[in-house]
Amino acid sequence: MGWHGLPAHDLISNATIQIRKDLMRSQQLQSLIAMARARSVAPDASVVERRELFERAVAMFPLPPDVRVQPVDAGGVPSEWLSTPGIGPSAVLLFFHGGGYNVGSLNTHRHLAADLARAGGVRALSVGYRLAPEHPFPAAVDDAVTAYRWLLSNGIPPQRIILSGDSGGGGLALAALLKLKDDGETLPAAAVCLSPWTDLAITGASVVQKAADDPMLTPDELYRYAAGYLGGADHTNPLSSPLYGDLQGLPPLLIHVGTSEILLDDSLRFAERARNAGVPVTLTVEEDLIHVWHYFAQLIPEGEKSLKEVGAFVRGILIQQHQGV
């Protein structure tokens, strides 16, 4: 059975596929879904209005007091270091926030970047890449690659860097890998993608099939964000839609996605193409979970559990790199 058939569990050569079904989901998750469905975002809300709503909503997720935040200019890209006590400087999680390339910021995703870094036992460099429509494609990719090169110029070796991102930021991490590969540069050790947006042509069947199940995203939002970001560029350009790229030679990937999100097929199809290209892929599909549920780890146990899984992947990759595996 293919990945679109969602087998209960499989292990295929260089791909680990985990399909978690029939789990008892928490009451906290149910409350979160109800709250998300009740959100009052007008379908015709402008990008500016959506940004403002996002910035206000993040007040629900205070940053733990032990997280240190240090603003930094990463080669001209406004970014910030996030670290917790006991974390050494030798490894870095290079993080790109979600928001469909149109919304989101360092502020809206500070807690998620910090949570991921803590789980992996590393510090994070969160990147404030330029947003569309003011700065259309390929501005975000250019900024992502600039931040990576800045890390290299500051003595962080590629094998100690892991790219990461959620939603559009997950797609951006993959696009950065393809750009670096095209430029003949040494790639980072791995990438972690949470509910990544990999197809700005929006051809996945789940966009329609899961529309009634997804409390976080609507097809209309995807079309609006894609139009704002692409600004007339090719929807299937691999640097905007990594699904269409040459994936051979990419480093190990961890992909998390839920079955209750319209971007489900963006993960399933990308993981399958990556596996067919010989890329080591760990794909976890969580039954009934929503878009980037990790973002809500302070509210739901499912988020906390998945953060631990991300942390285990990051730590495992870094141990392998240290041992020269």
Would you name the residues annotated as active-site residues? 167, 261, 291
Strand stretches in the chain, DSSP E: 9-12, 15-20, 68-74, 77-83, 92-96, 123-127, 161-166, 190-194, 253-258, 281-286
Which tokens sit at 252? 């190990």
| Count of other CB atoms within 10 angstroms of residue 7 | 12
Which tokens sit at 190? 């791995």
Question: Which of the 8 DSSP states describes residue 187?
Answer: P
Which tokens sit at 75? 């080669």
Contact (CB, 8 A) for 150 and 74: yes
Q: Alpha helices of 23-167 — where are they, by DSSP H?
A: 27-37, 47-57, 110-120, 139-153
Contact (CB, 8 A) for 264 and 216: no
